Amino acid sequence: MRLLVIALLGFFVPNGFFMYWLIFEFHGLGPILHDNLALGFILDVVLALVVLSVYFARRPIGPVKWHVLVVLSFLGGLGFSLPLYYWLNQRPGRDAMSPRANA
């Protein structure tokens, strides 16, 4: 339950800032490409996502595949996708419901 609350906070708080900026302060891609701080943050997040995706592809933590993490990250950022991805893979009772457990 805590992971879901963290995922919701990670979705609404950072994305709230992003949506406000996108609606009221977005002036095209030019200013973003000239802002070294913004480019640094973008590069940092992309590198973190690539490293985590490769890690989870090689060492899965559950039945949900790594590409779900990538999709969730594009939908809501790492503050949303990481706790939700972990929760999806660690849900109680998922082993009892899997087809392999019943065979």
Predicted TM-score (pTM) above 0.85: no
Q: Assess contact for 83 and 1: CB atoms under 8 A.
A: no
Burial class (CB in 10 A: 0-12, 13-18, 19+), 87: middle
- Report the length, in residues, of the chain: 103
Q: How many domains does the chain have?
A: 1
- pLDDT tens-digit series, residues 48-95: 999 999 999 999 999 999 999 999 999 999 999 999 999 999 987 655
97 falls within a domain: no
99 falls within a domain: no
Domain holding 80, by residue range, is 2-23+31-91
102 falls within a domain: no
Show Cβ contacts of residue 82 under 8 Å, excluding neighbours closer than 6 positions.
10, 52, 69
69 falls within a domain: yes
